Structure 1
Amino acid sequence: MRNRSAFVAFALVFGLALPVFAADTPEPVRMGCGQMTFDTVPGWGLGPDGKSVIGPTHGGVAVDKDGNIYTSAHAGVFVFSPEGKVLRSFLGDKYSDMHDIKIREEADGEFIYGARNANAEGIKFNARTGDIALKLPFPEESGLKLTKFNPTAITVAPNGDIFLSDGYASDHIFKFDKTGKYLMHFGTKGNGLKEFNTAHGMTLDTRYNPPRLLICDRNHEPKGRLLHYDLNGEFIAEVVTGLGMPTSAAVQGDYVSVPDLHGRLVILDKSNTIIAVLGHNADPAKRVNYNVPQADWIEGIFSGTHGSSWDKDGNLYVQDWNVAGRIMKLVRVK
């Protein structure tokens, strides 16, 4: 009931009996501004008992051509209908801990590409059947001597080349061809203009021709930033600076959604100007906080925004880094 507060005030003035409202059924919350205005969908993705069904989340979100939503959690990958019902899941050791996921339509079907930080590999599997088509372990042929390999992001070029970011370790970005053959790597750890301090997120920025890489330099000092590189690993430019901790990026048309671990999501236009901020958490104790239980979730307020994706209608699906497993649907207001 959208006008609950007004009704309560009216009832108190005129002595009417107050109805009992369900405390566990929040109202939709409107957020954003202008053409980037959204309404939340309370309870989206929860089970019949109102509890999260996916378990702890530290992953990404992707939407297939039919509008179904894929989100990765510690347990594996869950597939939801646009209405928020679980359609299928890919669980167990083969699918666990995908820190980032992308979906791509290819000649023989749609495939999920995942960066498995805890399992030190990239992976490609069929989005319908779960059949694994490709694995990308650390490429020994690179000649690098790394003590740790912790991939955090993955994306795919138009020709099928695969980019895998070692964002929790060396901050190198590795390039493979579509068969998994190592081609090259670029990037190094640091706070210089052309260095990464946690190359945490990455996507193909199709707002440009030819497309380029959009990379989230999450821990760059003094503030996080986004960078452009071409598909040969050459630096192009800083896109935007002064962000909090940008974790990932998703492109639709001229717009980019960028989750920030500080508990908000920013939207950029084609000029890379921030045109909306969603779900900002004003409570420092609840920002960058994995341990916010479901009982303390606040409708329309994020706590550790980590992954996002758009559907064809411009609706957003957002995942929090969260102990109980939180994924939300934001419906674009036309």
Structure 2
Amino acid sequence: MDKDKRTLDDFHGQVIGHGHYKYRVNTRWSQADPKVTPVKNCHEMVMDKQQRLILLTDHSANNIIIYNSSGQVTEHWTLDMPGAHGLTINEENGDEYLYICCFETGRVVKTDLNGKIVLELAHPKDLGIYPSCDPYKPTETAVAPNGDIYVADGYGSQWILQYNAKGEFIRKFGGKSVREGYFLQVHGVTLDTRDPNNPQLICTARIKNAFKFYTLDGKYIRTLYLPGALVSRAVIDDGMIYTGVCFSSDNTYGVERNTGFVMVIDENEKVVSNPGGTKPDYVNGKPIRMVQELPVFKHPHDVCVDQQKNLFIPQWNADQTYPVKLERV
């Protein structure tokens, strides 16, 4: 069989990945009924304290689909967001809240797990932060230990906007440029507390094939370059970083459709596995270009890690498919 013509389900049961991070593909984990909970794009996924898996979609009929660990849908609800894109979960005083971005409407809201909105951030143009000509299309949030909210304007003007827990604007940093401390598609932002005494932000510079690290007050620190990989947000679990590579490319700043894979980065920030992608390798301490090897995925958009270290992969522009489970072997 020509591998380029294989469908996602043709890879069901196949083991992919490298080294100690190999996974068995389970394309049939989701038991969602497309007639009841249809999806367009499955953008992001998080797990709550009850080990329920919460999926964000941009289908206005059901922006949120909640699964149990067996893949059964237990509930679903909507905020009528046609561009629902970023999903972050955060525990505050014992309760969990969702932070959701809609890039089409410019909305950023905080909800409880039942979908009740408890906070909505004002549009930056209404606050005088953006000139009227600057686009604002938020794609992701992160929440600091003190409750500060960071919004990545990934499809808009390429800023990270910082608000306090009440939604009051503090500052913006970044912006669009090819220069080192700036962004080309700041698609994601993640709180990094691997060093609890030195929390940082990991910001996605997707077109630059990189993660960029910043202090919590917006000062640029360094770049982790991942050549060939147009990464989504960083997902941290037990010191590891996981990310969905939405596209890969043989050319710097290139974008090629249907070429995604999943990336696993260890505690030393070295790529150790690329499920669906080429085997990671380093020359003189620098990674060589990484691209899709097997067409398991089209456009992985996020990674959710469960307690058994299985991975759940929602995808953008992937024929309305539900998340794929990668079972750790």
TM-score range for the pair, normalised by the shorter chain length: 0.7 to 0.9
Q: CA deviation at 1:53?
A: 4.1
Q: Are residue 303 (structure 1) and residue 298 (structure 2) matched?
A: yes
Pair 79,96 (structure 1): closer, same or farther in 2 beyond 3 Å: farther
Aligned counterpart for 1:60 among listed residues 34, 44, 68: 44
Partner of 1:170: 157
Cα distance in 1 for residues equivalent to 2:265 and 2:12 = 27
SS in 2 for 1:219: helix
Distance 1:137 1:121 in 2: 8
Q: 1:164 to 1:43 in 2, by over 3 A?
A: same
Shift of residue 313 of structure 1? Answer: 2.0
Conserved? CA contact 2:31–2:73, under 8 Å? no
Q: In the alignment, which residue of structure 1 is the partner of 2:268?
A: 271
Q: Give the aligned partner of residue 145 of structure 1.
A: 131
Q: For this pair of structures, how many residues does the alignment match?
A: 290
Residue 115 of structure 1 aligns with an amino acid whose one-letter code is: C
Determine whether 1:99 maps to 2:85.
yes
Show the counterpart of 2:283.
none
User: What SS is found at the alignment partner of 2:127?
Assistant: helix
* C-alpha deviation, 1:249, in angstroms: 1.6
CA-atom RMSD in angstroms: 2.4
1:217 is aligned to 2:205: yes
Equivalent in 155, 180, 191 of residue 167 of structure 2: 180
Residue number in structure 1 paired with 2:246: 261
**1:327 alignment partner in structure 2:** 323
TM-score by length of 1: 0.80
Matched-pair contact (CA < 8 Å) for 2:66–2:73: yes
Aligned-residue identity in percent: 24
Alignment partners' CA distance in 2, 1:74 and 1:143: 27
Determine whether 1:119 maps to 2:105. yes
Structure 1 residues 203 and 52, CA gap change in structure 2 (3 angstroms): farther
CA distance in 1, matches of 2:136, 2:174: 15
Matches within 5 A, 1:151-166: 151-166=138-153
Structure 2 residue runs of 5 or longer lacking an equivalent are 1-8, 248-259, 279-290
User: Which digits, 9 at most, give the CA deviation of each residue in 1:172-228, with x for residues without a partner?
Assistant: 1100111111111101101110110110111112222322111110112xxx11110
Q: TM-score, normalised by structure 2?
A: 0.82
Q: CA deviation at 1:244?
A: 2.2
Task: Kindly state the Cα deviation for residue 241 of structure 1 after the two structures are TM-superposed.
Answer: 3.5
Change in 2 beyond 3 A, CA 1:48/1:25:
farther
Is 1:40 equivalent to 2:36 in the alignment?
A: no
The letter for the 1-side match of 2:142 is T
How many Å separate the matches in 2 of 1:125 and 1:77?
11
Deviation string, structure 1 residues 293-327 (Cα, Å, up to 9, x no partner): xxxxxx98110111111112211111111241331
**How far is 1:33 from its partner?**
2.4
Question: Given the alignment, which residue of 188, 192, 195 partners 1:201?
Answer: 188
Instruction: Assess, with a 3 A threshold, how the Cα gap between structure 1 residues 303 and 256 changes in structure 2: closer, same or farther.
Output: same
Larger Rg: 1
